Chain A
């Protein structure tokens, strides 16, 4: 399993008046469990924490390392080993059809065109999406889109999968489908979610509040802590 390390990692954004607002205060963590949930209110800092893991956001202070690779100095290598799934798959799917979007992911592997196409179709087949391979992404259901986004990320076989509220836009049926799909994956998963059942499926859970990790422990305890905070 991969090792994700945050060492006094903090992040802030610059405001229009020249000041700074902290979006994640200094955080030190070592994550080695297979499934890690991140829960917390909207705007609490969950997405910031997740974006640090893929190098989408670099820390202002401290460091973030994935299997020893610093996101600041080895950004490309980190992104090759950490896949990121966004809340809204339409933000993530940049090509007109599922098969073309997965082919785009595979371009990084420098495969010949025919092999790339075959690999993309095989990736869709693995998720039961072969029948919509050539459809417009706008014609897919929300669940299908989220699965295509997941397939596009998994096509390049990352070691770690980071998912930012992947079920927020899904109905109950598609949420269950996504949960069962994720449960079968061998990758290390870091999932931010408002779905507490999702969090309870995990091996460890972090509660984020007011730009800080305020609880770190077993999912049952984390959910209880979060419920008490929200009460």
Chain B
């Protein structure tokens, strides 16, 4: 499987102010971006938030292609959403909705691109530590979220691989040939990941 596509970016090493910002503050800023975009859905507010987020992206020293890569993957959905909103509510709403989605995805991208996986795991574990008294396992929670993020590019890559294989066999219009192998491959991937974690003792109770 390819597993190369990334809607949510991998860590990009750097020493920018964004990299040095504590994870909790980045989390709050990400939440504020979402609240600003979807809580105050005006053209002016959403455009301003998008501009700030793009500015932060470059302030973090992240390449422009990371924005393009994330937007390109969403492009078919964005076009459909924009067309529908334009038709129903006019161009202003279409822009507001699309810009809000792009702004939140770029903000998420900035968080994951400027934070190491280890720091994310530590942060997530710390965030749910108060729930440990109710039986929650903070380490396992953090690892589960990280594995979920890691699985997204794999599943996207699986769709690409299966599409190519179906094309090679002249089955590009066969829904079954284009979906069933993805399901089987994804289940096999989940099992292999489970085995890999178990072999390293990472799911053991005392961990």
Contact = CB atoms under 8 A, between A and B. Distances in A.
Nearest to B157: A138
B95 to A, nearest CB: 33
B117 interface: yes
A96 B119 contact: no
B139 A107 contact: yes
B37 to A, nearest CB: 27
Given A76-B204, A79-B204, A138-B3, A113 B196 contact: no
A100 B116 contact: yes
Interface string A120-153: 0000000000000010101000000000000011
B198 A79 contact: yes
A134 B146 contact: no
Given A79-B204, A138-B3, A96 B150 contact: yes
A84 B201 CA distance: 10
Contact of B11 (A86, A96, A107): A96
B27 interface: no
B193 interface: yes
B42 to A, nearest CB: 37
A54 interface: yes
A105 B195 contact: no
A91 B193 CA distance: 6
Q: Range of interface residues on chain B?
A: 20 to 34
A56 interface: yes
B122 interface: yes
A75 B204 contact: yes
B27 to A, nearest CB: 17
A182 interface: no
A179 interface: no
Interface string B155-198: 00000000000000000000000000000000001001101111
Given A100-B116, A113-B122, A117-B118, A94 B199 contact: no
| Chain B binding surface, main DSSP class | helix
A56 B201 CA distance: 10
B204 A95 contact: no
A69 interface: no
A173 interface: no
A69 to B, nearest CB: 13
Given A96-B117, A107-B121, A113-B118, A134 B200 contact: no
Contacts of B118: 100, 103-104, 113, 116-117
A79 B200 contact: yes
B196 A92 contact: yes
Contacts of A113: 118-119, 122
B195 to A, nearest CB: 6
Contacts of B205: 76
A105 B200 contact: yes
B72 interface: no
Contacts of B4: 136, 138
18 contacts: A56-B195, A56-B198, A79-B200, A86-B195, A91-B196, A92-B199, A94-B197, A95-B150, A96-B10, A96-B11, A97-B11, A100-B116, A100-B118, A103-B117, A104-B117, A104-B121, A113-B119, A117-B116
- List the 7 closest A-B pairs by CB distance, nearest first: A79-B201, A91-B192, A84-B199, A76-B204, A100-B117, A92-B196, A96-B10
Given A86-B199, A104-B202, A138-B4, 12 more contacts: A79-B204, A83-B199, A86-B192, A91-B195, A95-B150, A96-B117, A97-B11, A100-B11, A107-B121, A107-B207, A108-B207, A113-B122
